[in-house]
Amino acid sequence: MSSGLLQGKIAIVFGAGGSIGSAAAKEFAVEGAQLFLAGRTWAHVEGVMRQIAARGGRAEAAMVNALDDGAVNEYLDRVVSKTGRIDAVFNATGPLAREYGNGKYAVDLKIEEFTLPLTTVVKSQFITARAAARHMIKQRSGVIIFLTGSPARGHAQGTTAIGAAFGAIESLTENPSDRAGPVRCKGCLPSYDGKHGQPYHPRNSGGLGWRNERHQGSDDRTNGRHELPQSPCQRF
């Protein structure tokens, strides 16, 4: 049931063709947001757009590589030119768990496996967040949502590579807020299956929690962590 919380808001989702990105996009749409969906595989992103449209939502799809700084900035410029602003950006881009050696002990990881989440997940999060922040600072409002996970705390066996990436993202979540003024930076934490090294699908995990929320005039963390049984929309 929709609360209409995001009615009239402009939300951009990178990695919208994947399981987490598509689930977040559909929830934003239910809450009334106008969506701009981006991803590298047109068929996947278009499919999500059609599903949203079939349920009465508003969404547009585009092929955008979130690892391409120029392409991301050009895409956000186009969105702002069309809508006048960006209210929220969420990036769910990332490789498959098997590609970065999830489940392996650190001593068994290849260098390429360890660095893959850093050169893809962390890099793309920085690119999309920086590009969005530049627009949001000008408009003096906006929310940047970072995707992180519990392996950032180093307690999940076999998650060395993605854990290092998530730790970097949590630091990144805090740092932009120190200079971004009215722009809010939030960390989105899906429930994590440590045994298989995969995040649970958001719709099956009791919603998404938030951690490390910092914004202008606020530092209300509890031991550096928020884990709330709420959806992204409920924390905007």
Number of domains in the chain: 1
- The range of the structural domain enclosing residue 140 comes to 10-229
Query: What span, in angstroms and rounded, lies between the C-alpha atoms of 125 and 121?
Result: 6
Residue 208 lies in a domain: yes
pLDDT band at 182 (very low <50, low <70, confident <90, very high): low
Contact indicator for 61, 49 with CB cutoff of 8 Å: yes
pLDDT (tens digit per residue) in 48-73: 999 999 999 999 999 999 999 999 99
How many angstroms separate the Cα of 43 from the Cα of each of 46, 122, 155?
Answer: 5, 25, 37
Long-range CB pairs of 51-56 (<8 Å, 24+ gap) are 51/22, 51/26, 52/25, 52/26, 55/26, 55/29, 55/30
Q: What's the CATH number where 218 sits?
A: 3.40.50.720
Residue 2 lies in a domain: no
Residue 235 lies in a domain: no
Residue 4 lies in a domain: no
Residue 186 lies in a domain: yes
3-state DSSP assignment of residue 18: coil
Residue 132 lies in a domain: yes
Residues in the chain: 236
pLDDT (tens digit per residue) in 119-163: 999 999 999 999 999 999 999 999 999 998 888 887 678 999 999
Residue 98 lies in a domain: yes
Residue 42 lies in a domain: yes
pLDDT (tens digit per residue) in 91-104: 999 999 899 999 99
